[in-house]
Structure 1
Amino acid sequence: MSSIKAELKDINKSIEKSNSIEQIRYGCALGAVHSAFAIPRVIPIAHCGPGCVDKQTSNLAFYNGFQGGGYGGGSVVPSSNIYEKEVVFGGEDRLRELIDATFKVLDADLFVVMTGCIPDTVGDDVGAVVGEFQDEGRPIVYAETGGFKGNNFTGHELVTEAIIDQYVGDYDGPLEKGLVNVWSLLPYHNTFWRGDLTEIKRILEGIGLKVNILFGHESAGVSEWKNIKKAQFNLVLSPWLGLKTAEKLKKKYKQPYLHIPTIPIGAKETSSFLRKVVEFSGIDKVKAEKFIKEEEKKYYEYLEDFSDFYAEYWWGLPAKFAVIGDSAYNLALTKFLVNQLGLIPAIQIITEDPPERYRSGIREEFKNIAEDVSVDIEFEEDSYTIHEKIEKQILVINPLLFLGLPGKGILLKN
């Protein structure tokens, strides 16, 4: 057994020296096929090598809580499965053939052609091929999502931009007061994203807004996307994902946007979030405040029931915690655990590799968790390195509460 451990240690050292990343928590840009089929009755068409979509689906949806593919994902996704022939001679004819066959076989309100590394490298003119079908009035757009362009967070914004530019189109009419577009969670990244978007829509409607939630079961699909251009404002509910889209819509449709970095968990953060939205949108404050008070009452009744267990000191519950996950859920959970349960943050690691230009803003949010609580965060993608950091924390703090994302696995380490 000791020889096996030594061998594994040597392998891990070799991996570390090779600058590879072990057990990452995201996919490549093509993984944003999940963003496409997260919109009801939208089907992605993949122009890539064989196995690319299957690997993304396995990692992002199947092994991440068995989330399924829904109407247009999983095994439904058409793929060109290009080989050496297309590398040498180009894959445009293969793509044209695939799109034509897809329209004959599959029924959808919108198709999103997405590319992998091979066609982006050899220079296939995907825009020209898709343009032929667009000229015929077919509901189809394209996004160049070769894996080397970034992870599926990057791909998500490329897909969003493609739909807005090529399908939603231009608009110079009036904006509808009380209508909001929500840009928040990355579909399929966290196992419970659907339920979270459902709840975000519910509470926004509760204060009197009409909501384009855009992704998930509560979205009205492409009709909702067509309605994006009429919204009074855009709401970015995340530390950084969606900001690029909101800036684009501000220029394209003259829509203002409200950026709230923290996804609200618990009454304190949720009430603060809703009041900021009410103030920004100018909707009826009396009606909104009535809803907020009713929701707070329900929440604290449940929290009071839980407190009987939580307050009993002999259970030995941890006083300190660590969160390992993407910036959105990491920030949300950290604020909840500090401000609502009174726990002390020990180590917070951000795993989704956010763009450098957003990192200072994320750090600033963690500096202001509470009046007397400031947290230094780390950006780390490599799970081997993360495991080393966790082991060091366990040696210092025992017991320690760990929250690992996506999946929200909870480990009480004693």
Structure 2
Amino acid sequence: MSEKKNFLETIDNVSGREGRTNSIQQIRYVCSIAALHSAAAIPRVIPIVHCGPGCADKQFMNVGFYNGFQGGGYGGGAVVPSTNSSEKDVVFGGEERLRELIAASLNILEADLFVVLTGCIADLVGDDVGSVVSEFQEQGVPIVYAETGGFKGNNFTGHELVTRAIIDQYVGPYDGPREQGLVNVWSLLPYHNTFWRGDLAEIKRILEGIGLKVNILFGTESQGIAEWKSIPKAQFNLVLSPWLGLQTAQHLEETYGQPFLHVPVIPIGAKETGRFLRQVTDFAGLDPAKTEAFIQSEEKTYYRYLEDFADFYAEYWWGLPAKFAVVGDSAYNLAITKFLVNQLGVIPGKQIITENPPEEYREAIRGEYHRIAADVATDVEFEEDSYHIHQILRQANFGHKPPIIFGTTWERDLTKELKGSIVEVGFPASYEVVLSRSYIGYRGALTLIEKIYTTTVGASA
């Protein structure tokens, strides 16, 4: 470790950027073309990538495999067709190669929609992908394209590009009636969030519980392109995240005149979930009595489990962590921090957001951490580089007890160094196998509590 530290410090000095290098150690996101996972997360949608050899495979291995071992689904993973652009395509252009690949894909693969995504090569050489795709669109082929070269940003940026492409090129204009009680949900980033499938299922369940019809749009609970086609009919859009999905909701407001509700805190546990459901009820004009009946039913079950858990919590207090750190994207970071403080009474140590949110959203995100609870506020740091993240954690004051770190595989060795416990809650999570697990809402909170204290008890053994 000391040799690595000295080496990095040498580079820092050479770079002249006050301790910063021109590279990022142990990345926390991937490039824009990884939004192929956003396409593949929609049932019976298949992405087609126009990029260099290995790009799509690397995105899958990073985001879909060594991140909960989620698999590729119907249209992801090994299914994704790629032009595997070569030097010839750089010199002469790759449009004809893309045209051939799309035609071959239509002959071999069955999909309700194809989404063409471009990589750095196609975008740099200026391939007219829109023209190629339009040829197939004119023939009635359900196909759209998004320019997602790596220099456009990371996979969060790519996600917004893909959703907008589907809305503009496939869903298209609409001037018909609105369906009261229908909501479009824009929330977690598919595949990048390790638990997105179970989380979106829980979001849909609790929203349906208060009387809404839900276009969840991604994952196993989605009805695929039928839901996307009905996006303009919705009464409103719900953005359930600190910032991801806001651009999409604003675009839908401009395009279809749809209002949107922005709830920055994804709810975990009874307190936040109840608050969230009442806020949605008020915005949508739903029957508050029905909402209260649903909340009471869910809380009755939730607190019954917690009553039994209280025996463990009261007797085992001496062996439980008092302070915690969260390292991960803003959505889970904020949600977990609020839950731990308000539901479990653990003290925030360090909160580090890693997905590089756009600068215009950061002040609002900081504000959420300043009101974690009535008497609890904390600061949050934005950092992408694992070297600097780990230095921050080493210098943090976690008190006399070992901390619990909510982070990623990158924090495992550091947690051992701090003699703490780790719960992997984000990309990459290569020590977790995830099928339908959720950490949000009522049911997900119980699962998260089980995970936290199973981990801490195991660490103290």
Q: Go from structure 1 to structure 2 and tell me whether the alpha carbon gap of 1:363 and 1:171 turns closer, same or farther (over 3 Å shift).
A: same
**SS in structure 1 of the partner of residue 175 of structure 2:** coil
TM-score by length of 2: 0.86
**SS in structure 1 of the partner of residue 227 of structure 2:** helix
Q: Go from structure 1 to structure 2 and tell me whether the alpha carbon gap of 1:220 and 1:321 turns closer, same or farther (over 3 Å shift).
A: same
Which of 364, 372, 379 aligns to 1:361? It is 364
- Counterpart check, 1:20 vs 2:16: no
Q: Quick check: 161-170 or 187-196, which moved more?
A: 187-196
Contact 1:394 1:400 in 2 (8 A): no
TM alignment of 1:322-401, pairs within 5 A: 322-393=325-396, 398-401=401-404
**SS in structure 2 of the partner of residue 211 of structure 1:** strand
- Counterpart check, 1:285 vs 2:281: no
TM alignment of 1:9-408, pairs within 5 A: 9-14=5-10, 16=12, 17=15, 18-312=21-315, 315-393=318-396, 398-404=401-407, 405-406=425-426, 407=429
Alpha-carbon distance in structure 2 between the residues aligned to 1:188 and 1:315? 37
Q: Deviations over 1:208-230 (max 9, x none)?
A: 00000000000000010000010
In structure 2, give the amino acid aligned to 1:13: E
Contact 2:119 2:147 in 1 (8 A): yes
Aligned length: 410
**SS in structure 2 of the partner of residue 43 of structure 1:** strand
Higher RCO structure (Cα 8 Å, ≥6 apart)? 2
Fraction of identical pairs, as percent: 70
Contact 1:262 1:332 in 2 (8 A): yes
Q: Deviations over 1:114-151 (max 9, x none)?
A: 00000100100000000000011100000000001100
Q: Deviations over 1:12-58 (max 9, x none)?
A: 33554432001111110001000000000000000000000111111
**1:344: Cα distance to partner?**
1.1
Aligned-residue CA RMSD in angstroms?
1.6
In structure 1, give the amino acid aligned to 2:75: G
Alpha-carbon distance in structure 2 between the residues aligned to 1:135 and 1:76? 25
**1:357: Cα distance to partner?**
0.6
Contact 1:324 1:348 in 2 (8 A): yes
Alpha-carbon distance in structure 2 between the residues aligned to 1:365 and 1:118? 40
Alpha-carbon distance in structure 1 between the residues aligned to 2:245 and 2:206? 20
**SS in structure 1 of the partner of residue 344 of structure 2:** coil
Alpha-carbon distance in structure 2 between the residues aligned to 1:9 and 1:193? 35
**1:394: Cα distance to partner?**
5.9
Contact 2:323 2:399 in 1 (8 A): no
**SS in structure 1 of the partner of residue 137 of structure 2:** helix
Alpha-carbon distance in structure 2 between the residues aligned to 1:358 and 1:314? 38
**SS in structure 2 of the partner of residue 340 of structure 1:** helix
Alpha-carbon distance in structure 1 between the residues aligned to 2:56 and 2:359? 28
Q: Go from structure 1 to structure 2 and tell me whether the alpha carbon gap of 1:397 and 1:84 turns closer, same or farther (over 3 Å shift).
A: farther
Alpha-carbon distance in structure 2 between the residues aligned to 1:247 and 1:162? 14
Residue 415 (structure 2) aligns with:
none
Q: Deviations over 1:220-265 (max 9, x none)?
A: 0001000001000000000000000000111111110000001100
Contact 1:237 1:259 in 2 (8 A): yes
Alpha-carbon distance in structure 1 between the residues aligned to 2:398 and 2:332? 26
Q: Go from structure 1 to structure 2 and tell me whether the alpha carbon gap of 1:214 and 1:397 turns closer, same or farther (over 3 Å shift).
A: farther
Alpha-carbon distance in structure 2 between the residues aligned to 1:192 and 1:247? 26
**SS in structure 1 of the partner of residue 144 of structure 2:** strand
TM-score by length of 1: 0.96
Alpha-carbon distance in structure 2 between the residues aligned to 1:137 and 1:300? 54
**SS in structure 1 of the partner of residue 375 of structure 2:** coil
Q: Deviations over 1:241-294 (max 9, x none)?
A: 000000011111111000000110000000000000000101122112111110
Alpha-carbon distance in structure 1 between the residues aligned to 2:399 and 2:381? 18
Q: Quick check: 375-384 or 387-396, which moved more?
A: 387-396
Alpha-carbon distance in structure 1 between the residues aligned to 2:101 and 2:58? 20
Q: Go from structure 1 to structure 2 and tell me whether the alpha carbon gap of 1:343 and 1:113 turns closer, same or farther (over 3 Å shift).
A: same
**SS in structure 1 of the partner of residue 237 of structure 2:** strand
Which residues of structure 1 form unaligned runs of 5+? none
Q: Deviations over 1:190-219 (max 9, x none)?
A: 221100000000000000000000000000
Which residues of structure 2 form unaligned runs of 5+? 16-20, 408-424, 433-450
**SS in structure 2 of the partner of residue 311 of structure 1:** helix
**1:315: Cα distance to partner?**
3.4
Alpha-carbon distance in structure 2 between the residues aligned to 1:13 and 1:64? 30
**1:318: Cα distance to partner?**
1.4
Q: Quick check: 246-255 or 398-407, which moved more?
A: 398-407
